[in-house]
Amino acid sequence: MAGRFPPAWLDELRARSDIVQTISSYVPLKKNGKNYWGLCPFHGEKTASFSVDAEHQLYYCFGCKAGGSVFTFIQEMEHLNFYEAVELLADRAHLPLPEMLDNEDYERRRSQRERLFNANRDAARFFYDTLFSPEGAAALDYLRGRGLSDSVIRKFGLGAAPDKWQALTDHLLAKGYTLQELQQLFLTVVKPPEPATEDSPAKPQRVYDVFRNRVMFPIINQYGNVIAFSGRILEKGGERKYVNTSDTPVFNKRKNVFGANLLKKERHLDRVILVEGNLDVVSLTQFGIRGVCATLGTALTPEQAQLLKRFAPVIYLAYDGDAAGQHAILKGLEIFQSEGIPCRVLDFPAGMDPDDFIRKEGVEGFNALPVLTPEDYRVRRLREEADLSTRDGKVAYARQAISTFGGLDPLERDGFIKDLMVQTGFSRPVIEAQIAAQEAEQRQKEAENAHPNQGAPRAKKVDPLEAVGLEPADGAAATPGGARKPLSEADLKILRAEELLVSLIATGRLPGDLAQEEDFTDQELKNVYLDLKAGVSPSSLIDQAIDGDSRSRLTRLLLSPHADSTDELIAMAQDCISTIRRGGCEKKLKEIMDRLTNCTDEAEKMGLLAEYQALSASLRKL
């Protein structure tokens, strides 16, 4: 993961981003022995099991097994990917990114972005102050009329744009921002002067606010920056109901959602609820529903889906119950599934939106809403549109419903088959045969697409059990690739010794020739040993871990072991090496004895006996 940044630059950033200071800004820590301890921010606990190792710049939770470097911590706490976490820490440490070192244009653009963020922040404050002034009375009445409390209004920083042509523009110009900056942010429109014509006199340059006489919703990103606005009309007329900020140098509507700043502050979310409207977000939040956000006046995008994936393991689509909302759900499901993101659908009564529903039914009713899988929802929509009174209608419905079965596990698929039997009257063998035929046809199409210039390979005959997604009768299943086989007690003892030895070597206080590469039978531990011997720091090794399980294991191993002196560390290492080498010898001796038992060749027996005696002599010396 660290490949984009030079190792030396990352080491400099780690040195500037002390892990104890960084984590202390999120979690209260108390020193106990060599390490610092606190309550884990990644799972609920009452007894501190979260340890921070200042020497190796690592953290590890002995409860939930979360662990890593300062980069990993920022990734998890701020819901960022590795590159974004690095950029955030670099910004905090005032360390230019590698490609930006000594780049005057980068510094200019960075300064300009800061000014644009500040201008948006000042605009949001202006709208907020206006809301609670006489000029904002109509907007405040509207919000209170929708049942919103002053507390939730403050929480979201809602505001009002006055019914004046350039109130905001004048306010921001007085603060030192330029007209060009306000244009860039879609806060101000500038109409150029127009020359006189036969029919009209010359017109001077005209300047006016984009947002006038509207309720204002500031769009705040996950870093707390105001990046855009959405304004709702107060009076019905010819103007658009909503005016939203167009893309600007600091805002891209495809990559942001309303409520991202509050999502980032939530901990242990088990779901994100995606709604259509800003008021739905505010209303549900006021009722205590956590993890709610909305798209920004456009259909869901893949970029927004990936953003939401950072905050929770599954996304719930909670769109309006009208026809448009139901159509948007189908599009949303396609995007989430194409991005590999688990999703569900909250099933609202027809014609109701989340705001209407929670005001009528309350939190208890909201939490009791049916939760549909994507397949449940699609099949229900198909059933609603199908004519099941005719045979042709049943056939068409069955074919379409079966086309949704692809991602189902065996139990889910069996349930759908039973439902389909009841709905259409077709027997299980007929439905299973149709499933087999459609799956074979799909494989044929995939093969043709993969080899468009070749004759398509002949479709395989489909096993009926495979067609309904059942396991073979004996229940045999291949173990996942790379899974560790259960270890014997002797092998486990050797592995534990190798792990402790790595931990001791990571302190950097052992003689370089104390251990050898041959002492490690576990390939991952051998690689760590070689990296440490080559001078790679423990925190750098963590950042190179291939997945979360590997990172957790390495972090646990590389935490500083408890020892009062270097002599104690060396003694512990020597004990580990002795255990490893003795265990290796004993294992080989057992293998030789097993071979001798079945050996019939005299010459081979003599060789095995000689090998056995040599190993026995080596074992006695250990």
For the stretch 521-547, pLDDT in tens is 888 888 888 888 888 888 888 888 777
CATH ID of 2-100, from 3.90.580.10, 3.30.360.10, 3.40.50.2300, 1.10.3720.10: 3.90.580.10
Whether 556 has a pLDDT exceeding 70, the answer reads: yes
CA dist., res. 101 & res. 111, Å (int):
15
Query: What count of Cα atoms within 13 Å lies in the side-chain half-sphere of residue 243?
Result: 18
Handedness of CA 156, 162, 165, 169 (dihedral sign): negative
For the chain, the residue count is 622
**Choice among 217-231, 320-334, 363-377 with the minimum mean pLDDT:** 320-334
* Other beta carbons within 10 Å of 440: 15
3-state secondary structure of 373: coil
The better pLDDT of the pair 486, 30 is held by 30
Whether 564 has a pLDDT exceeding 70, the answer reads: no
**Choice among 97-101, 395-399, 415-419, 618-622 with the minimum mean pLDDT:** 618-622
For the stretch 431-450, pLDDT in tens is 888 888 888 887 777 676 65
Task: Spell out the residues 6+ positions from residue 49 whose beta carbon is closer than 8 angstroms to its own.
Answer: 37, 40, 61, 62, 63
pLDDT level of residue 562 (50, 70, 90 thresholds): low
| Residue type at 531 in one-letter notation | D
Cα distances (Å, whole numbers) of residue 582 to 78, 486, 494, 576, 587 = 47, 21, 9, 10, 9
pLDDT of residue 431: 85
pLDDT level of residue 3 (50, 70, 90 thresholds): low
DSSP annotation of 251 = B
Closest CA to 217 of 321, 297, 137, 308: 297
Closest CA to 278 of 307, 250, 303, 243: 243
pLDDT of residue 304: 93
Report the side by side order of strands in the sheet with 50-53: 30-32, 35-38, 50-53, 58-61, 67-68
- Which two three-digit tokens encode residue 219? 């769009």
Its CATH architecture, for the domain 489-621, is Orthogonal Bundle (1.10)
The better pLDDT of the pair 167, 109 is held by 167
Average pLDDT over residues 164-182: 96
pLDDT of residue 560: 64
CA dist., res. 468 & res. 434, Å (int):
10
pLDDT of residue 622: 61
Q: Name the average pLDDT for the chain.
A: 84
- Which two three-digit tokens encode residue 442? 């799909």
To the nearest whole percent, how much of the chain has pLDDT over 90? Answer: 35
DSSP annotation of 194 = B
Annotated domain spans of the chain: 2-100, 104-194+203-251, 376-453+463-467, 489-621
Whether 292 has a pLDDT exceeding 90, the answer reads: yes
Yes or no: say if 71 and 84 are a contact pair by the CB < 8 Å rule. Answer: no
pLDDT of residue 468: 31
- Which two three-digit tokens encode residue 203? 């017109």
CA dist., res. 609 & res. 368, Å (int):
74
CA dist., res. 505 & res. 570, Å (int):
9
Cα distances (Å, whole numbers) of residue 227 to 18, 23, 81, 111, 177 = 30, 27, 20, 16, 16
For the stretch 296-311, pLDDT in tens is 977 899 999 989 988 8
Superfamily of domain 104-194+203-251: DNA primase, catalytic core, N-terminal domain (3.90.980.10)
